[in-house]
Amino acid sequence: MKYATNLLVGFSLVAGIAVTAHADFQAGIAAANRGDFSVAVKEWEPLAKSGDAEAQYNLGALLLSDKVKKTDVKSGIQWIEKAATAGHAQASYALGMIFYTGHGKDVKRDHKRAYQAFEESAKKGYAPSQFSIGMMLLNGEGVKKDTAGATAWLGKAADQGHAMAQYNLGMHHARSQSGKKDLAIALQWYLKAANLGLPAAQYNVAQMYLNGNGTTLDPAMARAWFIKAADKGSIESQYNLGLMSYYGLGDSKNLPEAKKWFEGAAKRWDRNAQFYLGKMHMDGEGVKPDAIEAYKWFDLASANGHEDAHFFRALAGSKMSDADRDRAHKLAQEWFDSNHKVPHKHYDMKQHQH
């Protein structure tokens, strides 16, 4: 089980802006909202030079963005630094993100400086920065690894409703810590993040109800959470819904429903879903038996690294003519070519002997 280690990348260009007495600042906001960013720059620049931290932050963010005709990284960072020095929490967070990720050729990654910037903002109670330093402490990035300190900062962010902090606290309690883990507490944190709409948390909640980890086994509840995550694009949830319908877990067996969920996951390159579609077409489960379609899906699953698919492809192929096998190969290649641009992950592949 791995932590979600990526920090929240990016920062709001013109967001979370406090009400200010400066009419020029509000004029800049109005210009930015209507897409007239050059006017926004003209309105904010004099205010930024006079020391207005909100104007400095927003001007800096705008100069770093692609909203202006010519990006000015050096000036953008300088204005954000000025705002951060003045105590602007969002500016400190933005500065931390700039150094954490780097900014092309202009700024090299510097996790130590990123941590320092996040810490300034976190101490002011800014949840994204609290989450960020929690993760950096957890992973030892730019600072000595400190699990206790990490969980304390993640807890501060989580208490403010930061979904990723809640999710990672769930991960922390779900995995073994010196031989100890608390699945019930893990579930509590996952549920908080899941109720905020985080698909990864919704999937983990579903898995815990499905397996009775940290709670009473409840397939119906598992299915409900899998559906929430699947609706947000969780491939793993689509596959699990297919399995539940295929085997009748928590409900009666429903092969058409299983096929629907497997197809959704298969189109996103899930090799297990591709394998089950092959099996359903080979055995005529919920569909008419179709050796060519079965071979196609086994071919795709095997190319995607599914070990058993190689055997099942050979089994399906042993009952087919050379012409049908060629047809199945062609269909698999056509599917591959037409779906290759769909975002998907590449599995670690092993060499196979045929």
93-113: pLDDT as tens digits: 999 999 999 877 888 999 999
Q: Which of 106-110, 128-132, 220-224, 283-287 has the lowest mean pLDDT?
A: 106-110
Check residue 106 and give its pLDDT: 81
Instruction: Between 231 and 72, name the one with better pLDDT.
Output: 231
The answer to whether the CB of 229 falls within 8 A of the CB of 209 is no
- Per DSSP, the three-state class of 306 is coil
Do the domains at 1-156 and 161-232 have one common CATH topology? yes
Indicate the domain borders of the chain.
1-156, 161-232, 235-249+258-354
Q: What is the pLDDT of residues 318-354, one digit of tens each?
A: 989 999 999 999 999 999 999 877 765 555 444 333 3
CATH class of 1-156: mainly alpha
- Among 25-34, 100-109, 205-214, the range of highest mean pLDDT: 205-214
Q: In the chain, which residue ranges form alpha helices assigned H by DSSP?
A: 23-33, 37-49, 53-64, 73-85, 89-101, 111-123, 127-139, 147-159, 163-174, 183-195, 199-211, 219-231, 235-247, 255-266, 271-283, 291-303, 307-317, 322-339
What's the mean pLDDT in 224-239? 97
Check residue 347 and give its pLDDT: 53
191 band by pLDDT with thresholds 50, 70 and 90: very high
Check residue 46 and give its pLDDT: 92
Q: Considering the entire predicted model, what is its pTM?
A: 0.85
Check residue 68 and give its pLDDT: 85
What's the mean pLDDT in 161-177? 91
Token pair recorded at residue 40: 């926004």
The domain over range 161-232 is classified in CATH as 3.40.50.2000: no
User: What's the mean pLDDT when you consider all of the chain?
Assistant: 89
Q: What is the pLDDT of residues 51-84, one digit of tens each?
A: 999 999 999 999 988 888 888 889 999 999 999 9
Q: What is the pLDDT of residues 313-327, one digit of tens each?
A: 999 999 899 999 999
16 band by pLDDT with thresholds 50, 70 and 90: very low
In angstroms, the CA 329 to CA 277 distance is 16
Check residue 179 and give its pLDDT: 52
